[in-house]
Amino acid sequence: METIIQILNDNYIGKEVKIHGWVYRVRSSSKLCFIVMRDHSGVIQTVGRMEDFNGDDFKNLANLTIESSLEISGTLNKDERAITGYELRIKSFKIFQRNENFPITKDQGEEFLLDNRHLWIRSREFNAILKIRSTIFKAFSEFFFKKGYYEVHPPMMVSTATEGGSTLFKVPFFGETAFLTQSSQFYLETFIFSLEKVFTVSPSFRAEKSRTWRHLTEYWHAEGEVAWIGNEEMMDIEEAMIKYIIKEVLEQNKEELTLLNRDISALEKSLEPFHRMTYTELIKKAQEFGLDLKFGDDLGADEERAIMVHFDKPIFVTHFPEELKTFYHRPDPQNPGYILCHDLLAPEGYGEIIGGGERIWSLDELRSRIQKAGLKEEDYYWYLDLRRYGSIPHSGFGLGLDRLCLWIMKQSNIKDIIAFPRTIRRLRP
RNA sequence: GCCGUUGUAGCUUAGCUGGUAGAGCACUCGGCUGUUAACCGAGCGGUCAUCGGUUCAAAUCCGAUCAACGGCGCCA
């Protein structure tokens, strides 16, 4: 048994091969039928000639429906008329299932395809998306393993919010109420006291009623936490990580990127050094670009997009004013009122994909920030304990892997790069 | 949560200022020896989201309801 990608190759010309897969397209006339077959690896045109078959065999072949499953044996020829340049002349075949008409035909609306996502993921386009996504996830972990990090596994069911928000999913938990995690950052901070350099890839859940092109209710969160380093060094690591992922995708998924019409040279730009600027500098730049942004404003989606059309590489934005960030971020001792943190904005209008920075490591400072934020110390007893016993400087980050996928594949909606998106209005399929 | 748009055949849709529903795809049947989500001929398929109102007459105008989609905020 061969895979399709394997036999799209001159070495197989004239040889007898056997493939299995699904009918991608079928066309027939009275004495000739074309069945384009697909498997996970690609598509190939096969041709059935009436003279090659006995009895009803030709008819059975010509009457196959899209997505029927079968096994085909035949000889391979080169043929420019065929979709992928080679053609298999069918000698024999075995049908596993001739199915009813496949629900997805041409001219489908987005919503219909979402309702039928369980079937649509078979499409060539989605197949390419899933392959690139797989590379992105793999490369993320690979990068950190190569740097000596440990992968850790924080809980998804938690008792408190990370950021004190009200956007948590409640889950009954043996008489108590548990929440689905929004971020594993606090747990990662516990791990560094054992392992020093850790990362995790796990889902995060946000019950926010977002309806935008870049929000999911359940999304894949890649987080890292590193002992003994500060904001600058954290950014260096993230920059190397993003470049590593892009390089891997460029190496392993050229074909898929082409199938998606991704402009590869635009992506290659991000292998050059990223821009870095402070929040204050960014606001100034934005004002130069003619944007109505005042100091103290958070960057909205429109602003991010308007700013990012001026850059072709990612930008780290650092030193946000204290009021714009949550309590655990460490204020800059050199710049009172500013935070040692960073957001990474992706180019081509994609905006924020990473949030990270240095964490407060002094117990007193953390307690006062918790108080200021109006939160209860009891809820954070174990987080505070980390500052009681051998506290150290450390930094971390959270990367929205789906957002990274969105940008790398240059799709227009985050739902397009995950097989089964969960949003405020979609729980199925 | 706020703002906006849309709802016509299985799917994609046309239908202007009211006159009683049209197409493409899919499907069924027939034809075709080189097709590229082929082509040609015929057929099947619609309580125009729901409820109510205006009118001689409503897919079309008005109101309500429901559903979906898009944008913002929140963030990754």
Does residue A70 sit in the same domain as residue A178? no
Could you tell me if A168 and A277 lie in one domain? yes
Same domain? A154 vs A77: no
Radius of gyration of chain A (CA): 26
Q: How does pLDDT run across A128-143, given as a tens digit for each residue?
A: 999 999 999 999 999 9
Q: Kindly state whether residue A57 falls inside one of the protein's structural domains.
A: yes
**DSSP character string of A33-88:** EEEEEE-SS-EEEEEEEGGG--TTHHHHHHT--TT-EEEEEEEEEE-TTSTTSEEE
Same domain as A79, residue A149: no
Percent of chain A beyond pLDDT 70?
A: 99
A69-86 b/e with 16+ CB inside 10 Å = b? bbebbbebeeeeebeeeb
Which one, of A58, A54, A3, A51, lies nearest residue A34 by Cα? A58
Are residues A133 and A184 located together in one domain of the fold? yes
Amino acid letter, A153: H
Asked whether residue A65 falls in the same domain as residue A159, the answer is no
Q: What is the CATH number of the domain that holds A290?
A: 3.30.930.10
Question: How many angstroms separate the CA atoms of A396 and A394, rounded?
Answer: 7
A301-308 vs A279-288: helix axis angle to the nearest 10? 70
Task: For residue A274, give the 3-state DSSP assignment.
Answer: coil
A354 touches strand B (CB under 7 A): yes
pLDDT recorded at residue A161: 62
Structural domain boundaries enclosing A409: 117-417
Residues A89 and A163 reside in one and the same domain: no
User: How many Å apart are CA A309 and CA A386, to the nearest integer?
Assistant: 42
Whole-angstrom distance, CA of residue A137 vs CA of residue A245? 8
Q: Closest residue to B74 by CA to C1' distance?
A: A208
Nucleotide nearest to A102 (CA to C1'): B26
pLDDT in tens, A180-195: 998 999 999 999 999 9
- Residues sharing a CB contact under 8 Å with residue A283, sequence separation 6 or more, in sequence order: A293, A294, A295, A297
Statement to judge: residues A93 and A143 lie in one domain:
no
Residue A90 in this model has a pLDDT that exceeds 60: yes
Q: Among the listed ranges A102-106, A149-153, A415-419, which one has the minimum average pLDDT value?
A: A102-106
**pLDDT of res. A30:** 81
Question: Would A311 be classed as within a structural domain?
Answer: yes
Q: Note the CA–C1' distance, A224 to B6, in angstroms.
A: 43
**Do A237 and A312 reside in the same domain of the chain?**
yes
CA of A84 to C1' of B26 (A): 26
Domain match, A256 and A398 both = yes
